[in-house]
Amino acid sequence: MTATAILGLGASGNAAARLALHQGEEVYVSDLRTDAPTATRAADLRALGADVQLGEHDVGRLVTADTVVVSPGIPPDAPVLRTLRARGVRWISEPEYAFRFLHGALIAVTGTNGKTTTCVLTAHLLREGRVQVALGGNLGGGLAPAASELPLLDPAPEWVVLEMSSFQLADIDAFRPDIGVVTTLAPDHLDRYPSVQAYYADKARLFENADSRCRWVLNGDVPEVESLAGDAPGARYRFSLGRGPEMNAYLANEVLTLRVGEKEEPLLPVSELPLLGRHNVANALAAALVARLVGVTAVEIAQGLRTASPLPHRLEAVAEDAGILWVNDSKATNVAAAVSAILSLDRPLLLLLGGKDKGEDLAPLARAARGRVRVAICYGAAGARIADALEDAGAPVVRVDGGLNLAVEVAREQAQEGDVVLLAPACSSFDEFENYEDRGRRFTLLARREAA
Q: Which helix (H) or strand (E) holds 402?
A: none
| Residue partners of 118: CB distance under 8 A and separation at least 6 | 109, 111, 181, 183, 283, 286, 287
Q: How far apart are CA 85 and CA 19, in angstroms?
A: 25
Provide the phi-psi class of 127: left if phi over 0, else alpha when psi is between -120 and 50, else beta. Answer: alpha
Q: How far apart are CA 136 and CA 226, in angstroms?
A: 26
Strand partners, 238: 218
Q: How far apart are CA 451 and CA 318, in angstroms?
A: 10
Q: Is 342 helix (H, G, I), strand (E, B) or coil?
A: helix
**Angle between the N-to-C axes of helices 436-451 and 404-414, in degrees from 0 to 180, rounded to the nearest 10:** 30
> Rounded to the nearest 5 degrees, what angle is found at the Cα of 442, between the Cα atoms of 438 and 443?
120
**Angle between the N-to-C axes of helices 298-306 and 278-294, in degrees from 0 to 180, rounded to the nearest 10:** 140
> Rounded to the nearest 5 degrees, what angle is found at the Cα of 448, between the Cα atoms of 445 and 451?
155
Q: Mind telling me the catalytic residues?
A: 115, 138, 189
Q: How far apart are CA 88 and CA 172, in angstroms?
A: 16
**Amino acid code (one letter) for 83:** T
Q: How far apart are CA 416 and CA 318, in angstroms?
A: 17
Q: How far apart are CA 363 and CA 375, in angstroms?
A: 17
| Residue partners of 386: CB distance under 8 A and separation at least 6 | 353, 354, 362, 365, 376, 378, 426, 427
Q: How do 255-258 and 249-251 pair as beta strands?
A: antiparallel
Q: How far apart are CA 248 and CA 416, in angstroms?
A: 42
